[in-house]
Every structure is written in C-alpha cells, then in structure tokens.
Amino acid sequence: AQSVTQLDSHVSVSEGTPVLLRCNYSSSYSPSLFWYVQHPNKGLQLLLKYTSAATLVKGINGFEAEFKKSETSFHLTKPSAHMSDAAEYFCVVSRNTGGFKTIFGAGTRLFVKA
Amino acid sequence: GAGVSQSPSNKVTEKGKDVELRCDPISGHTALYWYRQRLGQGLEFLIYFQGNSAPDKSGLPSDRFSAERTGESVSTLTIQRTQQEDSAVYLCASSRQGAPGNTIYFGEGSWLTVV
C-alpha cells in the first residue's frame, strides 16, 4: 500500500523568508513523487517531480524538493517566499499497481505575509 | 486549446437531478483521470481510463457515479440523483501514458453545487 502525509495543514511565512512544506510518503515500491500547486479558483499546476533520477529536484518558480529515502520524505522548499506563492500545495505519490492509482496528500495552505 | 478542457465550469443543480460533466484531454494523451475535491479537502481519486477502458474505478463513491470515454478522447462523468454531499469541484486530468513518472495535467475543474 502507499500513502502520503502532509505534516502541516497551514504554513505562514513572511515575504522574503524561506518556505518549507513537509511531505512524508509510504510506498512498498520505488515511488514517483510530485508537488502540485493550486491557486484560488485555478486548476492544479505541476511544480516538480521525482522519478528515481537526481534526488534533488528543481521546479518552477524557485521551488525545489529533495527525495530522502531513509526518511521517506519529499519536502518542498524555496529560499525566499513571494506574495504570489500563497496557494494550496499538494504532495502526490504514484505507482503502477496494475490498477493505477495516484494518491494525493490533504494539502498545505501557504500564507505569505507582507 | 493545448490544455485539458472541462465543461461546464460551474453547475448548480437541484437535489435528485442528474448531471453530466465533460472532459477534453490533451490530444494524444491515452490516460485520463477524474478527481473530486470537496471544499477545504484534498483531492479524491475517482476513476482512471487507459484508452477507452477503465482499469481502475475503485474511487467511484457509489453506483450513482459512472464515467465513460470514447475515441480515446472525450470523457463524461455522470452523477445520477445528485445529493448535497456531491457538491465539489470535479477535476479531470490527462497524461501521455498511465505510468508513474508521467506528468499529469489538470483542467480547471467543474464546480458542482447541489441545492
């Protein structure tokens, strides 16, 4: 079985400070991991993905995530938050079970204060 | 357009009525997915199509929900005898193949309100 847990439902940071959104996963097989962002009244947009290549993955808008197998984590980071980063972020794990299924985390709402 | 297209973007319906939600995936994408997102919740998997067949429909919440896909293209999600708990955003997504590691592209969603 596989699952994904986003450890914080809400994160609040000040503009210009670092962002850390935490994600832990559970998978019996080597997973593919993704981070998606959803701005208000918008569809989901892919930020970055990990598919067993480099463990440090760089995405759009200055975001990156590091796959740590020993910690079963895939935390999303950004060195300096911008007001436009305020959104909902979803950590996603997937594998082909023969009945394909993608598992989404519950989401983390990021607030950015001026 | 180049992205996943969904219609209607908004739908208000009376309890007990049937609704149909349409999804046009990106051309050439063989995999198509339906998800549901209730207010303040994460995404809930409903069904996955590979081509026109649905190898995984385990997420459909009840027999009031059904989906079909034709021509390896357009998909329709049908909800019969709608209930208030069906109110949610229904998101469609597609990917080039239904294998892990393939990026899933999402539509803007169909906002369904059952009154």
Q: Which residues of B touch A36 (CB under 8 A)?
A: 106
Residue ranges with strand state E in chain B: 5-7, 10-13, 19-24, 31-37, 43-50, 53-56, 65-69, 75-79, 88-95, 105-106, 110-114
A83-108 residue pLDDT tens: 999 999 999 887 644 445 677 888 89
Q: Which residues of A touch B94 (CB under 8 A)?
A: none
Decide if pLDDT at B76 tops 90: yes
Which residue, among A80, A83, A55, has the nearest Cα to A70 in the 3D structure? A55
Percentage of residues in chain A having pLDDT higher than 90 = 57
* B103 closest CB neighbour out of A46, A100, A104: A46
Query: Is B51 within 8 Å of chain A by CB?
Result: no
Query: Is B28 within 8 Å of chain A by CB?
Result: no
Q: What's the pLDDT score for residue B74?
A: 96
Residue ranges with strand state E in A59-107: 64-68, 73-78, 87-95, 101-104
CA dist., res. B95 & res. B56, Å (int): 15
Decide if pLDDT at B37 tops 90: no
CA dist., res. B54 & res. A100, Å (int): 10
What average pLDDT does the segment A61-81 reach? 95
Decide if pLDDT at A39 tops 50: yes
pLDDT band at A46 (very low <50, low <70, confident <90, very high): confident
Query: Is B106 within 8 Å of chain A by CB?
Result: yes
Look at A95 and B33 and tell me if their CB atoms are within 8 Å: no
Q: What's the pLDDT score for residue A97?
A: 47
Q: What's the pLDDT score for residue A24?
A: 96
B78-98 residue pLDDT tens: 999 999 999 999 999 988 876
